[in-house]
Structures are given as C-alpha cells and as structure tokens.
Amino acid sequence: MKINSLKIIIALLLPLLWLSTFSQIKTSTILLKNQGAVMTTGEVPEFTFYVPDKASAARFGLVKGNQSIWLSALKSVCKPEGKGLKYTLTGKFLEKGELVFEVLPLYQTDGVIIRVNGENLPDSLSLFWAFGAACGKSRQEVQNGLKPSDCKNNVFVVERNGVILYYPKGGLHDFSVFYTMFPIETSAVLSDAHKQNTPLELYNSGHKTDAQALSGMFPIENGQNYYCSFYKPASNYDVNYYRLPTMFEETKAGKPQDH
C-alpha cells in the first residue's frame, strides 16, 4: 500500500517539477527606438521583433559538414551589456571553441545590430540563420519565435546579402516591411518553416509550403568579426554591409550617427 501511494505522489509531482523547470526559462526584452517597439529573446540568440506588431523572428544554428544544431543545444551565458545583451556560447559542437553574440539596439530606427565572433572554433564551421514569421499581429495575439502559423504570406526580396521582408498588416493589400542584412558570404534559400528539427533540415526543405521562411548560412573563422542587422527601414539608417562595423562601434559607444 505504501509503495502504491509513493508511486501516486511521484506521478503527481513530476508534471509540477517539469512546469517549474520550464517556467525558469528567462525571457529578456530589449527596448527599441519607438514606444511599444521591442525585441524579445531568451537564453540563446533567438529574436522576435515587435514594432509594435510582429515584424519578424530569427533563430541561429551551426553547420559543420552534414551535421547541424540549433544554438539552443549549446551552453549559453547571457549578460546585459549597455542597452543590449552579450551571449557567450560553448559546447561539444564547438569543441574547445567559444562563440560570442553582442546585440545592441539601434538609435536611428526600430532594430538591432549584432556582432558575432569566435575563438578556437573547429574548421569548416558555418553560422546558420532563419528569418521570417512576420504577421502584423500584437504580442498578445501571437507567440515569440519562428512559428509556421506566422509565416503565411511572407514575401522575401533578396538583394545579395540584404533581405526585404513584406508581410500582411490588416487588409489583403496592406503590407509592411522589415529589413535584415547578413555578411556578404551568406547564402539564402526559401524554406519550409514546418521543418525545423535541425538547421540543415530547414535549409533543404524546399519552398513548396504554406509557411515560407528564409534561411541561409555563412562560414565563420577564428578571430573574425561578422555583423548582422535587423531593422525597420528609415531614411537615417540606409547602410550597406561594409558600414556595419562602424555603425556597431558608434552604437556601442553611445555616439550614433545618421547613415
């Protein structure tokens, strides 16, 4: 009788323990330029942009040969850095290496600029990215992240390493835009947001889907800085990739200039 009672108690407690662990996953918010505009993120670099409607989401992974993982599979330490965040990532996939993301909000418009670099990284490593899930709905109506249900009617225009994302906002012919920029070496393909078990599954999933996202990757090497930016277009933030290093340093120093 005592054994059966113990089993019942354990069965009742396990879901509560799981919920307690899950609830400890920290969500951070970076305030963007305009009132109500924010970027939400978690313990790893996975971003959702509200301006104030959901304007996109982005997640990152690593690719090495025919192997790939999402950054959520790595150990991540996230700390505030000025008005932004700094992530330090380590784990078996990186061998003895370390990958660092620095994320800063822009002064000129609703968006962020990101610097990525690594040390002691394994050979033939690429940083994978996925982008989309803009639906024009409020934070109260949707979930954070690259959700397939939010990818419907997303239209991507790729201009070398820059991407313009058109997404519905209200009526059938009412669209908004959000931009992103990656390193020059990046690739980009339309992908099926239903297939996100691994980065390579998403990358090779094809474009025949009702939930299109854009995915790509670029090689990363030791000691090199790589930059990305996600932002709402503005006349005083009209940049190309070669100007992002200067923009990052200006933003980090709190001395932004119009570009």
Domain harbouring 55, CATH code: 2.70.98.10
Residue 142 lies in a domain: yes
> What's residue 134's pLDDT?
97
Residue 14 lies in a domain: no
Residue 57 lies in a domain: yes
CA distance linking residue 97 with residue 120, whole number of Å: 4
| AA identity, residue 150 | D
CA distance linking residue 193 with residue 211, whole number of Å: 6
> What's residue 238's pLDDT?
87
Residue 109 lies in a domain: yes
> What's residue 3's pLDDT?
47
Number of domains in the chain: 1
> What's residue 136's pLDDT?
92
**CB-CB neighbours of 26 under 10 Å:** 9
| Torsion angles phi and psi, residue 189, rounded to 5 | -140, 150
Residue 20 lies in a domain: no
Residue 21 lies in a domain: no
Top-ranked range on mean pLDDT: pick from 8-12, 16-20, 87-91: 87-91
Residue 191 lies in a domain: yes
Residue 199 belongs to domain spanning: 27-252
Residue 126 lies in a domain: yes
- Sorting pLDDT into bands at 50, 70 and 90, what band is 162? very high
Q: Indicate if the pLDDT at residue 127 is higher than 70.
A: yes
Please indicate whether residue 204 or residue 10 has the higher confidence score (pLDDT).
204
State the Cα torsion 136-180-238-220 to the nearest 10°.
160
